[in-house]
Structure 1
Amino acid sequence: MSEDVVPADSELEAVRSALVEWYETDHREFPWRRTTDPYEILVSEVMSQQTQLDRVVDAWAAFLDRWPTVDDLASADRSEVVAFWSDQRLGYNNRARYLHEAAGQIVDEFDGEWPERPADLEALMGVGPYTANAVASFAFDAGDAVVDTNVKRVLYRAFGVEDDDEEFDRVASELMPAGESRVWNNAIMELGGVACGKTPKCDAAGCPWRRWCHAYETGDFTAPDVPTQPSFEGSRRQKRGRVVAALSDREAMPLDELGPKVRVDYAPDGEHGREWLRELLADLDDDGLVAVERRDGEEVARLRE
């Protein structure tokens, strides 16, 4: 893979800003996103490893109600922690044991002071690279760029990153603004979970990277965990539907006003500009759905009656 998959410097800031603004404007509300307490974040991360996030919310609240601080958990009877884990159907009870052990390490080995860097957090029992980076990012804003399955899917589709762990790490690191791991990692994981899932919801979720996304441009939404290309997203059929939807509540619309509603990368004189749009409208005209005419010296499109 060439080195130019990361957007050029002239575009990089726009790419970053678009994602962060999208996330900060509207994202799923989970209670652990409203805290920077490393204990509370570690509990959420360990619970989320094998459990859907919606189910984790109640279990997380109940766990913290019973053991509010890391000292409380460290002094608890391990059997009670394991029993709680089992009762909540959180899977793999050894994770409850590891969490209890990690709490003891914080209290006894670190004198109650949490390590802040991913490499240091990995010293805790049961805390691997991903969990360590999550705690460092969300508690201390001191993490590296996160690379999980969702993020790989986003990078593969958006920027054509090859299916190689080193490449994913490199691109993820170059994209993340320095010193902003908390908001960035939350945002890019949200993008993968909400807009760029196995079945993408580019337009419905308002994906902020559509104007740069290779998959959105080509309609090829395959990914390392999505071997079969969805048949509709990005297709010409989808673009036809966007034209009809855009014209449905208007008597007529100028081509250059309609174009951006069909493609976010529409540019009047560009590759996907007026000529491309005219061809698409011609197909719809042949089907008796849309008419193109001139009004006051301007090309407009309208739905046929």
Structure 2
Amino acid sequence: MSESAETGGSGWFPDDVDAVREALVEWYEADHRSFPWRETEDAYEILVSEVMSQQTQLDRVVEAWHEFLAEWPTVDDLAAADRSDVVGFWTSHSLGYNNRARYLHEAAAQVVEEYGGAFPEEPAELEELMGVGPYTANAVASFAFNNGDAVVDTNVKRVLHRAFAVPDDDAAFEEAARQLMPAGASRVWNNAVMELGGVACGKTPRCDEADCPWRAWCHAYETGDFTAPDVPTQPSFEGSRRQMRGRIVGALDQHGELTLDTLGPRVRVDYNPGGEHGREWLLGLLADLEDDGLVDVEERDGETLARLRR
């Protein structure tokens, strides 16, 4: 991994930082979890989703979000609602602290009374709304108006710490996230980096299963150390021979008979035939699996081939 910094001198990112950005956006746009608030640019609908998501798993939020918007489809409708009805909805759907419902109702009234029903587009102005803190204001500005800064939540901190060894320091995370986000792309970027933290780089990482786009640059993937600010104990499975053996079996099961140099990159993205994680390393793993009666390894026409033992 390169020690060179992007312009700005952080030292966190590789020389080809544009490739890092492109890889993440392409990964996200090719396939991501479908949530209805990702299909809208309506600031009111996005604010409702952000407030609901603060204490509730996203899969549970979907139904509540649809029902809330069926009851109060616009910010004007919510502002005109009886506050007790809004709080009652919140309680009946187990959406966390009731004061969030009260704040959301009051924020709607502010938008109607102070902004003529049109949400402000700047994060600083959005933060003036009742109950809207810096994170929520930035999320609404990003997802509704493509006008936000880099979002930094627990998932993003975990990703930056693991991938680029950004130290566990709020100021460092803010600066690193700001430098890494492409200019004028807060909507897709913030969605993508949070998706990465939620799908591929959770507390228990799923680097290969989720086809993480940053494996080629990732410090944690390279070293096997997946500790993070919210993951104080390194998962013993990550980077272990047991994990690598599992990847071999999975690749051979999916693709059939493979040569060493075709199998290697499917086991480690940084496979290098003559390197530390190269042919000798792979042959050692295959020998273990052969001893266990799981694979067969043979020489044929000058190539070493491996296949599952059936």
TM over 0.5: yes
- 2: CA distance between counterparts of 1:288 and 1:74? 68
Unpaired runs of 5+ in structure 1? none
2:97 maps to: 92
1:107 maps to: 112
- 1:268 positional shift: 2.5
- 1: CA distance between counterparts of 2:46 and 2:123? 14
2:128 maps to: 123
Q: Could you list the per-position Cα deviations for residues 156-179 of structure 1 after superposition, in whole angstroms to 9, with x for gaps in the alignment?
A: 111111100111111111211111
Unpaired runs of 5+ in structure 2? none
- 1:236 positional shift: 1.5
Which one-letter code corresponds to 2:199 in the other structure?
A: V
- 1:267 positional shift: 2.5
Which one-letter code corresponds to 1:160 in the other structure?
A: A
- 1: CA distance between counterparts of 2:85 and 2:214? 46
1:5 and 2:21 matched: no
Which one-letter code corresponds to 1:277 in the other structure?
A: L
Q: 1:154 to 1:251 in 2, by over 3 A?
A: closer
Which one-letter code corresponds to 2:300 in the other structure?
A: R
Which one-letter code corresponds to 2:120 in the other structure?
A: P
**Tell me, what secondary structure is at the counterpart of 1:109?**
helix
- 1:43 positional shift: 0.7
- 1: CA distance between counterparts of 2:307 and 2:94? 56
Root mean square deviation of aligned Cα = 2.1
Q: Could you list the per-position Cα deviations for residues 28-71 of structure 1 after superposition, in whole angstroms to 9, with x for gaps in the alignment?
A: 11111100000110011111111111111111111111111111
- 1:271 positional shift: 3.7
Q: 1:137 to 1:251 in 2, by over 3 A?
A: closer
- 1:107 positional shift: 1.1
Note if contact 1:6-1:174 (Cα within 8 Å) is conserved in structure 2.
no
TM-score (norm 1): 0.92
1:226 maps to: 231
**Tell me, what secondary structure is at the counterpart of 2:245?**
helix
Structure 2 residue aligned with 1:75, among 80, 88, 91? 80
2:44 maps to: 39
**Tell me, what secondary structure is at the counterpart of 2:305?**
strand
- 1:285 positional shift: 4.8
Which one-letter code corresponds to 2:12 in the other structure?
A: V
2:243 maps to: 238
Q: 1:284 to 1:113 in 2, by over 3 A?
A: same
1:62 maps to: 67
TM-score (norm 2): 0.91
**Tell me, what secondary structure is at the counterpart of 2:152?**
coil
Which one-letter code corresponds to 1:99 in the other structure?
A: L
Matches within 5 A, 1:1-305: 3-8=10-15, 10=16, 12-248=17-253, 252-285=257-290, 289-290=294-295, 292-303=297-308
